[in-house]
């Protein structure tokens, strides 16, 4: 899944922010891009059509080390939020190394979160992937709002495998870099295990 550039000695890893519409995927990427130092990040690119939008950019983390002497470069993507943009969601998952599943914590979005998670699993399968072979975490976003589902309820409904999870308020950056660090480390650990074989 990761792309290896032997001339620059870089491994390019793809992390996708997935979730229902307006859950905070774009807010995460905008916050990360704004806060990263200019010399380690690429330009934010927005691919917009009449009906959906995808954001992506890449960055070279300094503190995560190397994999077999190769630097790691991460490419961050968002998927369109609405499930009816399935073709775009499917395409963006191609070549994925890690997923941050962003959950809108509001009670009235509970069913949409579950629908989006099931849609992600289906789209991974259509690409030939199995969720258990992909590094992923949950980010429970919008924790500052008064009508939030308890984290325990969200965990019981979504996080059957008990992967790492983080509470966040993406608009202020709370939990945003914690989530990014966690998924980056999982992806690098997975790559290290694969290359050690």
- Each residue of 98-153: pLDDT tens digit? 999 999 999 999 999 999 999 999 999 999 999 999 999 999 999 999 999 999 99
Number of separate domains in the chain: 1
Alpha carbons within 13 angstroms on the beta-carbon side of residue 126 total 15
The structure's pTM equals: 0.93
Does pLDDT of 50 surpass 70? Answer: no
Q: Return the pLDDT at 135.
A: 98
Q: Return the pLDDT at 28.
A: 95
53, exposed or middle or buried, with CB in 10 Å at 0-12, 13-18, 19+? middle
What residue numbers bound the domain in which 149 lies? Answer: 3-196
Which alpha helices (DSSP H) does 52-150 contain, by range? Answer: 86-93, 110-126
The mean pLDDT value of the chain amounts to 90
CATH number of the domain that 16 lies in? 3.40.50.300
């Amino acid at each position: 899944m990761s792309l290896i550039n032997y001339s620059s000695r870089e491994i390019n890893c793809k992390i996708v922010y997935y979730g229902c519409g307006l859950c905070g995927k774009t807010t995460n990427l905008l916050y990360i891009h704004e806060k990263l130092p200019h010399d380690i990040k690429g330009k934010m690119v927005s691919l917009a059509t009449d009906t959906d939008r995808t954001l992506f950019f890449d960055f070279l983390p300094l503190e995560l080390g190397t994999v077999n002497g190769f630097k790691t470069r991460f490419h961050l993507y968002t998927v369109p939020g609405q499930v009816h943009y399935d073709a775009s969601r499917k395409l963006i998952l191609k070549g994925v190394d890690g997923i941050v599943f962003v959950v809108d914590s509001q009670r009235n979005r509970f069913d949409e979160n579950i629908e989006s998670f099931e849609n992600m699993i289906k789209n991974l399968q259509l690409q030939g992937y199995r969720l258990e072979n992909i590094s992923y975490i949950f980010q429970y976003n919008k924790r500052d709002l008064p009508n939030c589902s308890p984290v325990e309820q969200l965990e019981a409904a979504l996080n059957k495998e008990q992967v790492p999870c983080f509470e966040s308020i993406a608009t202020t950056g709370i939990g945003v870099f914690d989530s990014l660090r966690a998924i980056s480390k999982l992806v690098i650990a997975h790559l290290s295990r694969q290359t050690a074989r």
